Structure 1
């Protein structure tokens, strides 16, 4: 009887060891097999849309940042969120090509950006590569998604509508096992979508001393508008560098720290920017980490000339 009891106890322990982990918090002891199995199995095709990123995820599914970066390099996240930024991470799905690579779908979010990644592991659970398949908060696409189909081809798609015209961009990739990386095999059309930059504070009052538009060109500008307080201004900045490869955008409130300098610093946010006003120009300098609002290789900086406000035309004289 005692031997039977011991055997049952050992069996229960064995089964519990093989069961799926209920949590991947940083306090848990997690092996690579636990990490992979935490992702729910998915049937192909798997489609992750921008609307998927907007849905609230249960905190019970949250993957600890330290756990995640033990198996997937933090450089994957840093390319989108900036170095040192720790977005919340959630599992979206898992699938495997028979006898070959394992694919994990990951959701990463913070206050400003949301990204879905596709990570690829070898059949013996070694990390190979990862790529973003859909993003929110980076551009103004009206619809976007990432797709892994039954042929294990990866499609990224985004479209934008403007002036009654539909524009789209579709890229198709495969995982190249020889190079241990994703390879682009098709793109259409060849032209990139050029989204219209929408200024959310454009129509607000601009009567105070430093209010106005400081413009390099239509894709690099700072707008400053009045608030109810004399020492505060609303601002919106958008910039694009390196032929649009590096972008940044931020809206907030700045407070005058001296007669010609204002500072942006939101509570609980490491991002800080100085705005210096001199005559008919504005100089911007990032002094705190604003990686959540820009790409990793560029910063909120530079000088912008103030755009003259066109004077209203006098009414035509009656003949």
Structure 2
């Protein structure tokens, strides 16, 4: 009985207490401990979460990167963040954080070392109108399988995490039919910027540029097919304008860098280290002509 009374008189401190500084152990305490694997489908992101589980603003500011939702939500949308799971590896900690706003939800895999130092974050799941749905699986061997639902099928990209938190692409599986017409996943996004358009080089090669979340950013989709389909490449992402006529994309998962140069109704692409997204004997390089759009 005495032990019970002592336990009642000294309740454990709550990590939400506003009168004390939070530690990394406090941050870990917000996240349910995961088993040997964890799966998060796009449909799961539509399920409501109790507001009481949302991470407080000071927790987000102290332990998560300020660029966590960049490229998915704007600052004006003010997404709320929820802890989904924590899975431990010998040298890495895998924190899955979900972000919710009116237009939909997304989830990021945030990697930390054992000392609590943040390394990198990666978008792994998404259920937002107008963008391809994504889900992911972290298996018992710590392989990260990101599944993207496209109009013509599904694509699975399997990654492994490096000690510095970066991801290396292991393999890609796709159920898209080889003889289907070229599908542009960002075709319906806004194109108010003067460089936002479709640029082509032959029937099976496309560079699509669309407006970014800010005037300094742009969204892109690139697909090319060379040597009668013997060598292909495909990549999409968010780039930044580096000058009035140039832009750059730096991949967060690999060492891939793309350079964009806009001039005279054309865009010229050059790459560094983008082998994870193309065949061995071809490159994301070349000049593409702006396609004339039919007036509505």
Q: CA deviation at 1:160?
A: 3.2
- Residue 16 of structure 1 pairs with residue 32 of structure 2: no
- Work out whether residues 65 and 86 of structure 1, in 8 Å CA contact, stay in contact via their aligned partners in 2: no
Counterpart-to-counterpart distance in 1, 2:61 and 2:36:
27
Could you say which residue in structure 2 is the equivalent of 1:171?
157
**Greater relative contact order (Cα 8 A, min sep 6): structure 1 or 2?**
1
- Residue 109 of structure 1 pairs with residue 100 of structure 2: yes
* Count of residues in correspondence between the two structures: 210
Q: CA deviation at 1:49?
A: 0.6
Give the TM-score normalised by structure 2: 0.57
Structure 1 SS opposite 2:22: coil
Counterpart-to-counterpart distance in 1, 2:173 and 2:188:
24
C-alpha distance 184-28 of structure 1, shift in aligned 2 (>3 A): farther
Structure 2 SS opposite 1:81: coil
- Residue 130 of structure 1 pairs with residue 130 of structure 2: no
Could you say which residue in structure 2 is the equivalent of 1:307?
295
Moved over 6 A (4+): 25-28, 190-193, 239-242
After superposition, what is the alpha-carbon deviation per residue over 1:103-152, rounded to whole angstroms, capped at 9, x for unaligned?
Answer: 111110111131111111111222111111011115454x6311100000
- Residue 67 of structure 1 pairs with residue 52 of structure 2: no
Give the TM-score normalised by structure 1: 0.53
- Residue 145 of structure 1 pairs with residue 145 of structure 2: no
Unaligned 5+ residue runs, structure 1? 198-217, 223-238, 250-285, 288-294, 299-303, 309-319
C-alpha distance 69-220 of structure 1, shift in aligned 2 (>3 A): closer
Aligned residue runs from structure 1 range 183-222, under 5 A? 183-189=168-174, 194=183, 219=188
C-alpha distance 30-151 of structure 1, shift in aligned 2 (>3 A): same
C-alpha distance 56-28 of structure 1, shift in aligned 2 (>3 A): farther
Counterpart-to-counterpart distance in 2, 1:246 and 1:221:
6
Q: Which of 109, 121, 130 is the matching residue for 2:112?
A: 121
Unaligned 5+ residue runs, structure 2? 200-206, 216-237, 242-291
Q: Which of 156, 166, 185 is the matching residue for 1:181?
A: 166
Structure 2 SS opposite 1:75: coil
Counterpart-to-counterpart distance in 1, 2:94 and 2:100:
20
Q: Which has the larger radius of gyration?
A: 1
- Residue 160 of structure 1 pairs with residue 150 of structure 2: yes
